Amino acid sequence: MIERTFVMLKPDAIQRGLVGEIIGRLEARGFKPIAMKLMHIPKELAERHYAEHKGKSFFNPLVEYITSGPALCMVWEGENIVIALRTMMGKTNPQDAAPGTIRGDFAQQTGRNIIHGSDSPESARREIGLFFNDYELQEHKRSVDPWLYE
User: Does residue 116 carry a catalytic annotation?
Assistant: yes
Tens of pLDDT along 80-110?
Answer: 999 999 999 999 999 999 999 999 999 999 9
Q: Find the catalytic residue in 49, 53, 116, 140.
A: 116
CATH number of the domain encompassing residue 84: 3.30.70.141
Q: Which residues contact 6 (CB under 8 A, 6 or more apart)?
A: 73, 74, 75, 116, 117, 118, 123, 124, 127, 128, 131
* 21 belongs to a structural domain: yes
* 84 belongs to a structural domain: yes
- Structural domain span for residue 42: 2-137
Tens of pLDDT along 8-46?
Answer: 999 999 999 999 999 999 999 999 999 999 999 999 999
Task: List helix spans (H) across 16-58.
Answer: 19-29, 43-49
